[in-house]
Amino acid sequence: MPYEDPDVTDPMTRHGVMFETENGEAMREMALCFIEEYRRSGLDRDRLLQLFATKDYAGPHLAYMTLGEQVIREMIDACMLRWGTATGRTVDMNEQGKVKLPVVEP
């Protein structure tokens, strides 16, 4: 099968899904998942907030715009209490000041 023509029946192909929910906590849960994931990857408080404020990160930015900066700050602070403020890991940043993701960047 050609690389540019993925098979929709292939179970190894990633597929994004969207669904509506009436649960008002869904946005908070999504934001918490992003915060924990990126925190455990090595981002500090300031970089986490910057990530949420950056339009290029669609999911985190949607939570930032929906919940507001203060709520995101409080969630980040709570996560810092849980996971700590230092991991000993560094995070590579690209020239635009965004987290460098070698998996998606050439």
For 13-29, the pLDDT digits (tens) are: 776 777 777 777 889 99
pLDDT at residue 41 in the model: 84
pTM of structure: 0.64
Cα–Cα distance for residue pair 35/59, rounded to 1 Å: 11
Q: How many domains is the chain built from?
A: 1
Instruction: Report if residue 73 sits inside a domain.
Output: yes
Contact assessment for residue 42 and residue 91, using Cβ atoms and an 8 Å cutoff = yes
Owning domain of residue 36: 23-106
pLDDT given for residue 86 in this prediction: 54
User: pLDDT (tens digit, 9 = 90+) per residue, 45-95?
Assistant: 999 999 999 999 999 999 999 999 999 999 999 988 887 765 555 566 677
Please name the residue that has the structure tokens 């590579």.
92
| Residue 63 placed within a domain | yes
- Whose tokens are 């179970």? That residue is 11
Rounded to the nearest 5 percent, the helix, strand and coil shares of the chain are 45, 0, 50
Q: Is residue 16 part of a domain?
A: no
Tens digit of pLDDT for each residue in 3-13? 667 777 877 77
